[in-house]
A and B are shown apart, each in its own frame.
Chain A
Amino acid sequence: MESFKKVISIVTPLDKVNVDTDQIVPKQFLKLVQKSGFGKFLFFNWRYDEQENEKPDFVLNNPNYGNSQILVAGDNFGCGSSREHAVWALLDYGFSVIIAPSFADIFFSNCFKNGVLPITLDQKLVEKLLRETGVIEVDLENQTIKTPSDEISFEIDSYQKKILLEGLDDISLTFQYEDKILEFEKQSKVPSVL
């Protein structure tokens, strides 16, 4: 996984609560398992009409937000199905930071497995960010968000911060200690076949 760097970008405002993973990636795409290429299915039913033409009023179809890497949304983002495809789609589309007042548990955890930073902020600050039109800077190292007029700090678990900064995931982190694990297993009195 790539290490997480500073993200400097405008925000894409998605002023909706309870954005569930069925909306993030509809079920018909779940059969596919490659991690890349899911960006084109992101918010599929909100982005395209029946004939798969872009719906002009949906925020992702507004060219002003074309290069945005930061999505700001309402409460309980990522609720519903546990599909990890939801995070794959956000990341593949270009979002590496999601800011919301609250997240659904499994989605929140899935973000860290894939190098996406979910930031939980107070409702009022999120509302302010939803209206922010300028470029903002998300600095994970210092846990700050700089807007043209403000500097906001955010909380993150130190372990989750470390895995994002170093581009690790739980599995590769464990395998950093493979030598020690093997050594321990050799010393163990219980035969490993048990």
Chain B
Amino acid sequence: MNITEKILARGAGKSSVSPDDVVFAKVDKVMMHDVSGPGVIKVFDKLQKQGISVDKLWDPTKVWVAEDHFVPSAEKVSAENIVKLSKFTKQYGIEKHFKYGMGQYGICHTISHEEAMVMPGDIYVGGDSHTNTTGALGAFACGLGHTDIAYVLLNGQIWFKVPETYYFKLNGKLPEHVMAKDLILKIIGEIGTDGGAYQTMQFGGSGIDEMSVESRLTMCNMTTEAGAKNGIVEPDQKVVDYLTQRGATNMNLVKGDDNAEYSKTFEFESSEMEPTVAKPFSPENICVVREAPSVELDKCYIGSCTGAKYEDLEAAARILKGRKVKIRTEILPAAISIYQRAMENGLLKIFLDAGATVGPPTCGACCGAHMGVLAKDEICISTTNRNFPGRMGHVESQTYLASPLVAAASAVTGKITDPRDL
């Protein structure tokens, strides 16, 4: 069995599983946020009306809650949702509720690794499509809708169809100036936005061995944009060290068998990658940066679970150090812990000296919610994950998806710029 099959088999209490088996598996961790949470509460209300008891959760210690999409609240509906969420976690005894304005908080997927909420080998589900991100720690991580999350909260189990696995063998260390974002855009460009539909996308090879945990998180985060059920990387010492630094102990590293089967294998020469962008209006619409259209950019957005981890901010700072931005540039660290490190290590000063604005952790304009959404005809270069029409604001705005290095280099010139050409 491969790693995904092994994790699902363990959760289902079976000695082995194969692709297409439907298994009922125990969930180890479940997450909801300020959009899926109120949706779940609504499902609970409906069940209660049907006479079904929703008095207690299966295990409140395995549930954690993030506030990220609409925080800090810009208007009263969002504010009320946060109040609802707080009442819910209090009522059900959920202690791991990361509240904005009260110490550590941030984008749910970022909290999952920053706070070591998810361990290698876990079955982890979240009420958000980018839950796939956390598969980079060697867990089975996937997104679910509100009803499914409500079900898991009450029962602690859910069914899965064991996915087939596409194995992506990445050969060689990424060149300087190329980041995991460039590579995953390239992969999505090759296989298409439904190229991984219902599949596991597993990454391995020397390209992954050389990659930091945070880069692997970027890879798995964007498997969602290829339609994958989950993205995953076999855990190694880097994952152990990363989680140990964040207080984790007793990790159970699940790896695939030597004779693990994959329904397809793809090879990418990661050592030969070039800075890449996805043009509007699809993550598969890629080109190398040096062939990107010569458009006048209006904004640069460095944020989100995809592109505002510490490593991402450090990359942007390498470019922005001693330079000035030519277009509006917003940088939103994805969690308070990252914000703090950025402050301690002088990154915030570099950003402010360059003329950029630094905002609080939030999904913000990545999902077009608030904090810098785009106007009609505005063009943005962004370290986020989706560029569908209207994703970041007006339906006639445009977003180019890029790595933090490319985004920062473009902020300096006002045009889509290869960092090597600065």
Using CB atoms and an 8 Å cutoff, list the residues of chain A in contact with chain B: 18, 20, 22-23, 26-28, 30-35, 45, 75-76, 79-85, 87, 102, 104-106, 109-110, 113-114, 159, 169-172, 174-175
Q: Contact check: which of B41, B42, B145, B159 meets A106 at CB < 8 Å?
A: B145
If A76-B197, A82-B129 touch, whether A33 touches B52 (CB-CB below 8 Å) is: no
Q: Are B388 and A82 in contact (CB under 8 A)?
A: no
Q: Give the interface segment out of B115-123, B148-156, B347-355.
A: B148-156
Q: Are B147 and A84 in contact (CB under 8 A)?
A: yes
Q: Are B390 and A171 in contact (CB under 8 A)?
A: no
What is the bound-complex CA distance between A132 and B166, given in angstroms? 37
Q: Are A106 and B386 in contact (CB under 8 A)?
A: no
Q: Which residues of B contact A75 (CB under 8 A)?
A: 194
What is the bound-complex CA distance between A113 and B39, given in angstroms? 13
Q: Contact check: which of A28, A83, A109, A159 meets B148 at CB < 8 Å?
A: A109
If A33-B42, A105-B227 touch, whether A171 touches B47 (CB-CB below 8 Å) is: yes
If A171-B154, A172-B50 touch, whether A31 touches B386 (CB-CB below 8 Å) is: no
If A27-B369, A82-B145 touch, whether A104 touches B389 (CB-CB below 8 Å) is: no
User: How many of chain B's residues have a CB under 8 angstroms from any CB in A?
Assistant: 48
Q: Are A79 and B227 in contact (CB under 8 A)?
A: yes
> Is residue B170 within 8 Å, beta carbon to beta carbon, of the partner chain?
no
Q: Which residues of B contact A76 (CB under 8 A)?
A: 193-194, 197, 227
Using CB atoms and an 8 Å cutoff, list the residues of chain B in contact with chain A: 22, 35-36, 38-39, 41-43, 46-47, 50, 52, 69-70, 77-78, 81, 127-129, 143-148, 150-151, 154-155, 158-159, 193-194, 197-198, 227, 229, 282, 367-369, 386, 388-391, 395
Q: Which residues of A contact B127 (CB under 8 A)?
A: 82
Q: Are B386 and A171 in contact (CB under 8 A)?
A: no
Q: Are A45 and B389 in contact (CB under 8 A)?
A: yes
Q: Which residues of A contact B46 (CB under 8 A)?
A: 35
Q: Are B41 and A33 in contact (CB under 8 A)?
A: yes
Q: Are B129 and A22 in contact (CB under 8 A)?
A: no
If A105-B197, A110-B145 touch, whether A35 touches B42 (CB-CB below 8 Å) is: yes
- Contacts A82-B129, A106-B145 aside, 10 further interface pairs with beta carbons under 8 A come to A20-B388, A23-B389, A26-B368, A33-B39, A35-B42, A45-B389, A82-B128, A84-B146, A87-B145, A113-B147
Top-4 shortest CB links A-B: A113-B147, A76-B194, A110-B145, A82-B129
CB distance from B384 to the nearest CB of A (A): 12
What is the bound-complex CA distance between A45 and B155, given in angstroms? 38
If A18-B194, A76-B194 touch, whether A30 touches B69 (CB-CB below 8 Å) is: yes
Q: Which residues of A contact B148 (CB under 8 A)?
A: 109-110, 113, 170
What is the bound-complex CA distance between A110 and B46, given in angstroms? 16
If A27-B367, A33-B38, A105-B229 touch, whether A22 touches B390 (CB-CB below 8 Å) is: yes
CB distance from A30 to the nearest CB of B (A): 5
What is the bound-complex CA distance between A165 and B389, given in angstroms? 36
If A33-B38, A33-B41 touch, whether A27 touches B368 (CB-CB below 8 Å) is: yes
Q: Are A171 and B52 in contact (CB under 8 A)?
A: yes
CB-based nearest B residue for A50: B376
Q: Are A102 and B47 in contact (CB under 8 A)?
A: no
What is the bound-complex CA distance between A159 and B194, given in angstroms? 25
In the complex, 14 of the A-B residue pairs with CB atoms within 8 angstroms, ordered by the A residue number, are: A26-B368, A26-B390, A26-B395, A31-B77, A80-B386, A82-B128, A82-B145, A84-B145, A87-B145, A106-B129, A170-B159, A171-B147, A171-B151, A171-B155
What is the bound-complex CA distance between A76 and B129, given in angstroms? 15
Q: Are A104 and B194 in contact (CB under 8 A)?
A: yes
